[in-house]
């Protein structure tokens, strides 16, 4: 029954692995989702160091753990230990969700699609034909650019401090009909002025250095979308300045919620109770 959450001998096990992991809000969010949707599951956090990753996967098989979220530093290494990798996760080169289908461990990546779903629900209905600037060329940027390209924007520009990394990333992706450009960070001011959407995938502006910003909000076109993957703080300096400039702002909380929502849906086959998940994460963030 909705709202009830009694653990019994039929309860399915789930969890997140990472090193570190104790800061994770995933257990609060997914246990809330199970309660809301009436799923007999329990979700916890496992602190797994890199030398124990193989033992953990053996444990998943032995105990029939039904679903696992994977975070730093295991997203790449875990790929060698599971049975099957979804085509998108393979192209991105990272797995953040494992589904245990009767003993067969299948890896997915829900970060990029989670980001795009939250962007479309919260900030911009369609990305078709848009000019997008992505700041940063690390792991997070890769998943996001991959998912963005499926939405057929007119142009994606990747700006990065180390230009070679942006070039490598651009070269490795199939751009379809989208124009792909690579630029150094020094060019961000004019680039932001032309963009419909600017996305910060770097850690610049994250707690505790909250006064820092990857670009000035005043560089943006009023009415454009400013998006930041950071959710601590919920409104970064970049987003505050962009809001003052008349932009629509989109915080990293949505990506976190929707990557979890996709994981929930892959595991249970039920639609994720997204509003309840957001509400409990927001209140947990306010307390910490």
Catalytic annotation, residues: 75
Q: Which stretch binds ligand ATR (CB under 6 A): 40-48, 196-204, 215-223, 254-262?
A: 196-204
Of residues 107, 136, 153, 273, which one binds ligand ATR by CB under 6 A? 136
Buried b (16+ CB within 10 A) or exposed e, 36-65: bbebebbbebbebeeeebeebbeebeeeeb
For residue 70, the minimal CB distance to ligand ATR (Å) is 13
Q: Which stretch binds ligand ATR (CB under 6 A): 13-21, 98-106, 156-164, 172-180?
A: 156-164
CA 184 to chain centroid: 24
- Chain positions 159 to 188 lying near ligand ATR, rule: CB under 6 A, are 160-162, 165
For residue 84, the minimal CB distance to ligand ATR (Å) is 24
Alpha-carbon distance of 18 to 71, in angstroms, equals 5
For residue 42, the minimal CB distance to ligand ATR (Å) is 29
Alpha-carbon distance of 224 to 242, in angstroms, equals 9
Phi, psi angles (nearest 5°) of residue 38 = 70, 35
Alpha-carbon distance of 90 to 241, in angstroms, equals 37
- Residue closest to ligand ATR, measured at CB: 138
Binding flag, residue 141, ligand ATR (CB under 6 A): yes
C-beta neighbour count of 35 within 10 angstroms: 17
Binding flag, residue 58, ligand ATR (CB under 6 A): no
Q: Which residues bind ligand ATR (CB under 6 A)?
A: 136-141, 160-162, 165, 201-204
């Amino acid at each position: 029954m909705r709202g009830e959450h009694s653990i019994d001998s039929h309860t399915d096990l789930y969890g997140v692995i990472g090193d570190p992991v104790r800061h994770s809000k995933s257990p609060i969010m997914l246990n809330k989702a199970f309660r809301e949707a009436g799923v007999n599951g329990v979700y916890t956090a496992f602190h797994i160091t890199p030398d124990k990753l193989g033992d953990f996967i053996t444990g998943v098989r032995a105990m029939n753990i039904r679903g696992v979220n994977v975070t730093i530093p295991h997203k790449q290494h875990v790929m060698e230990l599971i049975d099957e990798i979804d085509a998108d996760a393979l192209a991105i080169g990272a797995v953040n969700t494992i589904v245990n289908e009767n003993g067969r461990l299948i890896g997915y990546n829900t970060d990029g699609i989670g980001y795009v779903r939250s962007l479309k629900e919260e900030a911009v209905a369609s990305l078709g034909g848009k000019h997008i600037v992505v700041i940063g060329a690390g792991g997070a940027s890769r998943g996001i650019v991959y998912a963005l390209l499926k939405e057929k924007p007119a142009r994606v520009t990747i700006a990065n401090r180390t230009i070679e990394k942006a070039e490598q990333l651009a070269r490795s992706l199939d751009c379809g009909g989208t124009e792909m450009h690579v630029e150094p960070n020094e060019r961000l001011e004019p680039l932001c002025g032309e963009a419909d959407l600017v996305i910060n995938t770097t850690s610049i502006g994250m707690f505790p250095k909250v006064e820092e910003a990857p670009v000035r909000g005043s560089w943006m076109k009023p009415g454009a979308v400013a998006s930041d993957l950071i959710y601590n703080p919920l409104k970064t300096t970049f987003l505050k300045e962009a809001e003052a400039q008349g932009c629509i702002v989109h915080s990293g909380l949505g990506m976190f919620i929707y990557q979890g929502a996709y994981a929930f849906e892959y595991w249970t086959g039920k639609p994720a109770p997204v509003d309840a998940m957001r509400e409990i994460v927001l209140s947990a963030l306010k307390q910490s």
